[in-house]
Structure 1
Amino acid sequence: MTLHNRIALVTGCTQGIGQAIALKLAREGADIVINALRDDDRAEATREQIRALGRRCASAIGDVSQPAVIRSALERAVDELGPVDILVNNAGIERRAALLDVTEEDYDRVMAVNLKGPLFLCQTFARLCRRAQRTGAIINISSVHEELPFPNFTPYCTSKGGLKMLMRNLAIELAPLGITVNNIAPGAIETPINARLLSNPRLMAPLLARIPLNRLGEPGDVAGVAAFLAADGARYITGTTIVVDGGLLWSYDEQ
């Protein structure tokens, strides 16, 4: 178990990529603090799956865009399980709208969840590591859209571009504490956020034609990379983005 005796906080982890990461880290030996917006049936099901793997599980329930709420919830989880070694900033949202139709409310919400939340969670995590005199790993789930334009999703792309620079800045600032900071940039992954795409063959066909591996990714494809970045084998990797997209980014042709 490569993550034995480690504790990981994974945000937005009751479905899709976040849940796959939480379960993968648990399989590798980590105890898990789950974060979800609400303590609902999905949160309980995720806790049950983690405990079925023989791992301890605590909860830090709340909106990641509200730093004081999450900070308090995380402190309670630390009291229950112990110091957190791994932070996975996975929670994220998108809003579809052409630029001429984007509302201030949509922009503020996307930026708050996708960028403000990770920044202040990184701050809280780093303070906890310093207090416990422990090193750590921060893994942000970004997107190929930290590099790739995505018309009609300008706030989302802006937030992911910002997450890339946040990662690069913090990799330098937190290196003296022994904390690595990296991004994972998934491409098209089979998750609930892509339900509209998955159910529409007319949209799927041109996308698959642009992916050299000719398939959508699975949440487990991302989870495996997260487990690698969280483990000792990646302790000399920091300040970088690992792209998990089947080759989409480097062969994409805007048509």
Structure 2
Amino acid sequence: MELFLAGRRVLVTGAGKGIGRGTVQALHATGARVVAVSRTQADLDSLVRECPGIEPVCVDLGDWEATERALGSVGPVDLLVNNAAVALLQPFLEVTKEAFDRSFEVNLRAVIQVSQIVARGLIARGVPGAIVNVSSQCSQRAVTNHSVYCSTKGALDMLTKVMALELGPHKIRVNAVNPTVVMTSMGQATWSDPHKAKTMLNRIPLGKFAGESGGSPASVVPAVPVEHVVNAILFLLSDRSGMTTGSTLPVEGGFWAC
């Protein structure tokens, strides 16, 4: 199905690894013009070699002032993918202020700031747009040692709905994708142990996580390519989903059905 993204300018946060990197690669292949945002310069350098012509921006989105400097004059953006996130996992009784603050700065506050920058530009130009927030199955299901992470993603789902409500009159659609565990480097750090993963996999009717193809963790824990998540993101960015806004799209193998 043709998504007609060629020529559109798309800003992707958390572009250096995992879902964000896969999204940039897929968008580049469609002919979209991509602004790739990451806090790691080495990741951006390798991404530019893979996808010549993308615009790299290196900034820590947890830093409000630095983000304003880096993206405040980024220029016209048609579409936005808020993918950047951190997962600082601690038992509830051991949650620290530092982990709480860092998690909400990156996983929620940065979404507000970057979306404001993009939405204000769209409104000033008088053109429609689309924003996709990368949430998680953890937004609606509790997971041990994920109290802060689950909280940020639950808040992100509600933020998505409020953004859709307020930005809809400006023809800006806002949706979220809610993946299961994705076996990127962040997912592998938590779920590559097959004994630990089994407790989660037993709750997923399709019996597998989403994950990058290849690599030893994926051969131990059942996984499917990260493209399943990327495809959902691209669909929600495209005009093919023109009547969809305020939604949370599960990409979790039926986890929420149980």
Pairwise same-fold verdict (TM > 0.5): yes
Aligned to 1:239: 246
After TM superposition, the runs of 4+ consecutive aligned structure 1 residues lying more than 3 A away are: 196-199
RMSD after superposition: 1.5
Deviation at 1:196, TM superposition (A): 3.2
Partner of residue 182 from structure 2, selected from 189, 196, 200: 189
Q: Is the 8 A contact 2:10 2:34 kept in 1?
A: yes
Q: Give the letter for the 1:44 counterpart.
A: D
Partner of residue 61 from structure 1, selected from 53, 58, 63: 58
Aligned to 1:116: 109
* 2:80 partner SS: strand
Q: Give the letter for the 2:249 counterpart.
A: I
Q: Is the 8 A contact 2:26 2:230 kept in 1?
A: yes
Aligned to 1:105: 98
Q: Give the letter for the 1:123 counterpart.
A: Q
Structure 2: 5+ residue stretches without partners: 211-224
Aligned to 2:84: 91
1:168-198: CA deviation from partner (whole Å, max 9, x where unpaired) = 1110110111100000001121111122345
Provide the identity percentage. Answer: 31
Deviation at 1:235, TM superposition (A): 1.5
Aligned to 1:222: 229
Aligned to 1:25: 27
Structure 1: 5+ residue stretches without partners: none
Structure 2 CA distance for partners of 1:237 and 1:33, relative to 1, 3 Å = same
Q: Is the 8 A contact 1:36 1:63 kept in 2?
A: yes
Deviation at 1:49, TM superposition (A): 1.7
Q: Is the 8 A contact 2:61 2:110 kept in 1?
A: yes
Deviation at 1:225, TM superposition (A): 0.5
Q: Is the 8 A contact 1:63 1:70 kept in 2?
A: yes
Matched, 1:74 2:71: yes
Q: Give the letter for the 2:106 counterpart.
A: V
Matched, 1:175 2:168: yes
Aligned to 1:35: 37
1:139-170: CA deviation from partner (whole Å, max 9, x where unpaired) = 00000111111121111111111111111111
Mapped to 1, the partners of 2:13 and 2:114 lie a distance apart of: 10
Q: Structure 1 length normalisation: TM-score?
A: 0.90
Q: Which has the higher strand share?
A: 2
Q: Is the 8 A contact 1:67 1:121 kept in 2?
A: no
Matched, 1:205 2:206: no
Mapped to 2, the partners of 1:43 and 1:8 lie a distance apart of: 16
* 2:41 partner SS: coil
Deviation at 1:38, TM superposition (A): 2.7
Q: Give the letter for the 2:54 counterpart.
A: C
Mapped to 2, the partners of 1:75 and 1:122 lie a distance apart of: 11
Mapped to 1, the partners of 2:204 and 2:130 lie a distance apart of: 30
Mapped to 2, the partners of 1:137 and 1:208 lie a distance apart of: 33
* 2:22 partner SS: helix
Structure 2 CA distance for partners of 1:15 and 1:178, relative to 1, 3 Å = same
Mapped to 1, the partners of 2:71 and 2:200 lie a distance apart of: 39
Mapped to 2, the partners of 1:99 and 1:155 lie a distance apart of: 8
Mapped to 1, the partners of 2:64 and 2:242 lie a distance apart of: 28
Aligned to 1:150: 143
Aligned residue-pair number: 242
Q: Give the letter for the 1:229 counterpart.
A: L
